[in-house]
Structure 1
Amino acid sequence: MKTSLLFPLILLFACSGPAEKSGLSALEDDIRSLMQATEGDFALAFRMLDDSGRQLLINETEVFHAASTMKTPVMIELFKQAAAGEFSLQDSILIVNEFKSIVDGSTFRMDLGVDSQEELYERIGKKASLYELMYQMIIKSSNLATNILIDRVGAKNVTQTMRDLSAEDIQVLRGVEDLKAFDAGLSNSTTALDMLQIMEAIARGKVEGSREMVKILSDQYFKDLIPKLLPTDVKIAHKTGSITGVQHDTAILELPNGSRYVLVILSKNLTDVPAGKEAIAGMSRLIYDYVSENPD
């Protein structure tokens, strides 16, 4: 099993000195070693947010199920439409649990057992602000909030806005738990390169509400992927995503020395999810070490 090599590799790479990890080429070799030591498929996209042009792309155009990473594009669309005067993010909206399949318009409901925000289910039939639902969609990945918000802004609008940000392959087709759509092969999808473009647009202030979005992403509840092996003084604004055999994290990071970068790590076909998560954390640490040692 490849996973038997994983933990020694993470320890070796995390403790390696500058001599072993000088330059992007050596960094890529170390990351590919972690990927090869783990059962599953990975993609990684890393880019410095400075003028150096430094980046590392591995399997960056391979298509992955987007899982909950698609919730960041939904947030971007919400801010965009609010700025255009379509609504205020402080407007109230009814909390419902009835949605229409994109396949045939039949209704379906969310299952509390597979969602991560139980509190909203206790408020069905009551109202919440668009902002509150958006916040819960991001920090705790509420599926119920996501479906309510996608119905409000429109999935096609979300995808078109991503095209405007030069994300050429991402597809936001629908909300969550539309099983008829899933069975028909109609799922949200993305690439690491597209998520890099999207997170960089937020980081560089190229979309409406960028600063507020960074604040929201910084409150992320799930921190066992990109942040796990990093020092606590690293500022991380990120959105995770997971379904069976899939673990993703998409992040904007700022180090105490002022270095900033975007990192996207996607995975699929994981046979050992804990090992896959450790590999992602290890890749993140390798990137951090490289940036720390090569700030300019």
Structure 2
Amino acid sequence: MKMYLLVPMLLSLSCGGPKEKQELNQLEKDIQDLMQGVEGEFGLAFRLLDDSDKELFINEKEVFHAASTMKTPVMIELFKQSATGKFSLQDSIPIRNEFKSIMDGSTYSMDLGVDSQEALYSRIAKKGSIYELMYQMIVKSSNLATNILIEKVGAENVTQTMRDLGAQDIQVLRGVEDLKAFEAGLSNTTTAFDMMLVMEAIAKGKVHGSDNMIEILSDQHFNGLIPKYLPKTIKIAHKTGAITGVQHDAAIVDFSNGESYVLVILSKNLKNEELGKETIAKISQLIYTHVVKP
């Protein structure tokens, strides 16, 4: 039996003239048709980065577990603090696997078996540069690197920087695998709208190190969601995130002619994660086709 979304789909469309509105309405219908074939919930935010004000929102203010998408805000904070002279991104930092829970200060360690960057664990008790750990945090989504860097910059500072960018609902509270905090309901969260604002700030050079961040995000190792069905000739700077029942991707899609757009697709409560991933890839393809149509 086909299972439909458990929450209402709240859509906002904005565009120039009647024809563009009609085309966006059709795009929205096609996207909803895909989403409604999946048991789970989705949030979407799309904005063309030009003067057309073309954008499309579906459940854009719905709150989702941020999963690894929160690593992009951490990267922004690293570049910000480096720019203010607190440290250099080339500074060395100890690689360790002992962290403090935000619940009670008790220590916990990362589980090698659930991290996506195993190589870093062989270097525990040695040192690496902040830049290297940041790169591994984004490109290979290293949880170990993430926790080291969050303790370096402070989760509360990351959240405040997001507020300064206009992202009012993102919460970066802690590092990864803090089980005591998780069991207490204290998790990093985001909305599709806020993540769109974050990626837009990078795309438009509104944050320190934007060009460098785009290059790092463009080296993303996990490309099975937004980039899957897009041409290999275009540049896609993006960050994925996944936990049980959750698949996210937040991207800047840049064409060689200078045209670009931001697309964020979040999901949760997915009963079939492979179907959810394929749906995200097909939604991305629909939006790309809409943007590049003759």
Q: Report TM bin, short chain.
A: over 0.9
Q: 1:199 and 2:203 equivalent? A: no
In the other structure, the counterpart of 2:233 is 233
CA contact (8 A) 2:3 2:36 kept: no
Report the counterpart of residue 164 of structure 1 in structure 2: 164
Equivalent residue for 1:88? 88
**Aligned equivalent of 1:34:** 34
CA distance in 1, matches of 2:110, 2:133: 15
Matched, 1:49 2:49: yes
Residue 249 of structure 1 aligns to a residue in which SS? strand
Name 2:291's counterpart in structure 1: 291
* Structure 2 Cα separation of the partners of residues 208 and 255 of structure 1: 23
Q: What letter matches 1:123 in structure 2?
A: R
Query: Larger relative CO (CA 8 A, sep 6+): 1 or 2?
Result: 1
- Give the conservation status (yes or no) of the 8 Å contact 1:259–1:291: no
Structure 1 partner of 2:221: 221
**What is the distance in 1 between the residues matched to 2:258 and 2:109?**
45
Q: By how many angstroms is 1:234 displaced?
A: 1.6
8 Å CA contact retained: 2:44, 2:58? yes
Superposed CA deviations along residues 136-175 of structure 1, whole A, max 9, x for unmatched, are 0000000000000000000000000000000000000000
CA–CA separation in structure 1 for the residues paired with 2:225 and 2:2 = 20
The Cα of 1:258 is off from its aligned counterpart by: 3.3
Tell me if the contact between 2:116 and 2:140 (Cα under 8 Å) persists in the aligned partners: yes
Residue type matched to 2:277 in 1?
K
Partner residue of 1:68?
68
Identity of matched residues, %: 71
Per the alignment, residue 249 of structure 2 pairs with 249
Could you tell me which amino acid in structure 2 is paired with residue 39 of structure 1?
E
- Which residue in 1 is equivalent to 2:267? 267
Within 2, Cα distance between the matches of 1:233 and 1:3? 36
Q: TM-score, normalization: structure 2? A: 0.93
Q: Shift in Å at residue 221 of structure 1?
A: 0.1
The answer to whether the 8 A contact 2:166-2:197 is kept is yes
Question: 1:140-179 residue pairs with structure 2 within 5 A?
Answer: 140-179=140-179
CA deviations over 1:66-109 (Å, ceiling 9, x no partner) = 00000000000000000000000000000000000000000000
Structure 1 gap ranges (5+): 5-18
**Which range moves more in the overlay, 247-256 or 136-145?**
247-256
Q: Secondary structure at the match of 1:2?
A: coil
Question: Where in structure 2 are there 5+ consecutive unaligned residues?
Answer: 5-18
Post-superposition offset of 1:293: 1.0
Amino acid of the residue matched to residue 66 of structure 1? Answer: A
TM-score, scaled to structure 1: 0.92
For residue 51 of structure 2, what is the amino acid of its counterpart?
D
Residues 181-196 of structure 1 aligned to structure 2 (within 5 Å)? 181-196=181-196
**Secondary structure in structure 1 of the residue aligned to 2:123:** coil
Contact 1:22 1:290 in 2 (8 A): no
| Runs of 4+, deviation exceeding 3 Å | none
Q: Measure, in 1, the Cα distance between the counterparts of 2:91 and 2:84.
A: 14
Which letter maps to 1:186?
L
- Give the 3-state SS of the residue equivalent to 1:87 in structure 2: coil
User: Is the contact between residue 234 and residue 253 of structure 1 (CA under 8 Å) also seen in structure 2?
Assistant: yes
What amino acid maps onto 1:190 in structure 2?
T
**After the TM superposition, which of the residue ranges 255-264 and 155-164 deviates more from structure 2?**
255-264
Deviation (angstroms), 1:251: 0.2
Paired with 1:172 and 1:257, the residues of 2 have a C-alpha distance of 35
Question: 1:33-74 deviations in whole A, cap 9, x for unaligned?
Answer: 111111110010000000000000000000000000000000
